[in-house]
Amino acid sequence: MGVAKRTRKFATASMTSIKLIGKRDDRRKTEAEKNVELELQKKKQQEAVREIPQMPSSMFFQHNTALVPPYNVLVDTNFLSRTVGAKLPLMESAMDCLFASVNIIISDCVMAELEKLGQRYRVALMIARDERWTRLTCDHKGTYADDCIVDRIQKHRIYIVGTNDRDLKRRIRKVPGVPIMSVAKGKYLIERLPGAPAT
């Protein structure tokens, strides 16, 4: 028995093999529509050019010349609670870490956050209310301390930020010239301070 020859049928096509042109296909558009789209793309490209924020005059590459003793340490809620947990004296531990005199600064947002946290953070709140620390008044709406701290260090690069919050640390690291102090291993550690001893 021989094998039957299969011949192609050229004139017929099934519905599955037919490809339809989509509504947004370039072949359907008129010249006027194409020109309008090109103009919109050009406008978007021109808008993409952004202004680079001017760096403060105290910045020399990554080195911040405005950081001089007595250091201003802007403290976070998390830093205060970790200090209480490690049973460290705030002022003395900061001075031991930086080998210089220190001004502890607590903003209104941090105080409001500590008051909201309730009884578990009452010792940290008592420490924050101490008369020796400088209080910063906040003029913005809301009481989210992380946004307040990041906004303040971007405006004035004269602070060392005391925090143990990972998200806040990540945000601070994007701002050049701002060192971070944290509580670890029963003492304070400093990060990104020029000339600081390696820990």
Summary mean pLDDT of the chain: 85
The reported pLDDT for the residue numbered 59 is 75
Q: Are 168 and 148 in contact (CB under 8 A)?
A: no
**Domain containing 149: what range?**
66-191
Total of domains in the chain: 1
Q: Is residue 124 in a domain?
A: yes
Euclidean distance between CA atoms 164 and 183, whole angstroms: 7
Task: Examine the pLDDT at 10 and tell me if it is beyond 70.
Answer: no
Q: Is residue 35 in a domain?
A: no
Beta strands at 59-60 and 63-64: parallel, antiparallel or unpaired = antiparallel
Q: Is residue 23 in a domain?
A: no
What's the whole-number mean pLDDT along residues 105-123?
Answer: 93
Which band of pLDDT confidence, cut at 50, 70 and 90, is reported for residue 170? very high
Q: Is residue 96 in a domain?
A: yes
Q: Is residue 112 in a domain?
A: yes
Write the CATH number for 138: 3.40.50.1010
The reported pLDDT for the residue numbered 12 is 62
Percent of the chain topping pLDDT 70: 85
pTM flag (> 0.75): no
Q: Is residue 100 in a domain?
A: yes
Q: Are 108 and 138 in contact (CB under 8 A)?
A: yes
The reported pLDDT for the residue numbered 30 is 78
Q: Is residue 47 in a domain?
A: no
